[in-house]
Amino acid sequence: MSRLAAGDLDHGWVLHRRRYRETSLIVEFLTREHGRVAAVARGALRGRSALAGILQPATPVGLALRGRGELMTLTHAEPLAPAPSLVGDRLYCLFYLNELVLRLTAAHDPNPPLIEVYAEALTGLAADTPLEALLRRFEKQLLDALGFGLQLDAEADTDAPLAPDADYHYLVERGPVRAGPASSGVRVQGATLLALAADEPLSTRALVEAKRLMREVLHHHLDGRPLASRALFEAQGRGKP
């Protein structure tokens, strides 16, 4: 593939790739101009091709695509920066972030806020950002970027401001309601919801509650279908993200 001028390239990252026929790959990208898009990288697995090495998750890539259908053709790809070195839990967390984006986004739907949220999460994975805090922030901001934002600062029924010391039950399709003996939903303290709303650091208790809340919300938006990345965490003897 010949080199193109930077202004001619879309920018993005590889979310997932799989073998296609003998020497090619089908690659799912998250890009600035096209949103989430699938493309065939022809000949990527041939011995002389550098594509397989370039098309790695978390590597920022400049790319050119051809076609208008559901499956496009990759005509050019080049790395824009070195891939971060992710191992262990940080690598598994990358798989989790990528699977959420794959499962929750619509194809060919550019979303600039999502690009910024994803880029920030990758920066955190490559740094020393505590993983639990990073995942909860990403989940919350991902939902915001996709139009599924949570009501986190006022009661669902009354719009009264949340009390930090009060306990609530969070109902996915309504929001937080005062906890009572017959309440359903995820039990969570007002302080946890307010910290999530303001993107503030989460206490130990808040991290536990936020994880439980986000798991329930994501389960709803995924229509109850399990995430393969969570099964991978379990297979490696790690807790679910």
CATH of the domain at 99: 1.20.1440.120
Same-domain pairing of 31 and 49:
yes
Distance CA 146, CA 105 (A): 7
Residue 1 belongs to a domain: no
The DSSP output letter for 10 is E
Same-domain pairing of 32 and 93:
no
Instruction: Work out the angle at residue 114's Cα, subtended by the Cα atoms of residues 101 and 240, and round it to the nearest 5 degrees.
Output: 40
pLDDT, one tens digit for every residue, the chain (241 residues): 445 555 579 999 999 999 999 999 999 999 999 999 999 999 999 988 889 899 999 899 999 999 988 999 999 999 999 888 899 999 999 999 999 999 999 999 999 999 999 999 999 999 989 999 999 999 999 999 999 999 999 999 899 999 999 999 999 999 999 987 767 889 999 999 999 999 999 999 999 999 999 999 999 999 999 999 988 777 766 666 7
Distance CA 239, CA 183 (A): 28
CB 115 within 8 A of CB 121: no
Same-domain pairing of 129 and 224:
yes
Residue 240 belongs to a domain: no
Residue 131 belongs to a domain: yes
> Torsion angle, CA of 48/51/53/59, rounded to 10 degrees?
160
Domain encompassing residue 125: 88-235
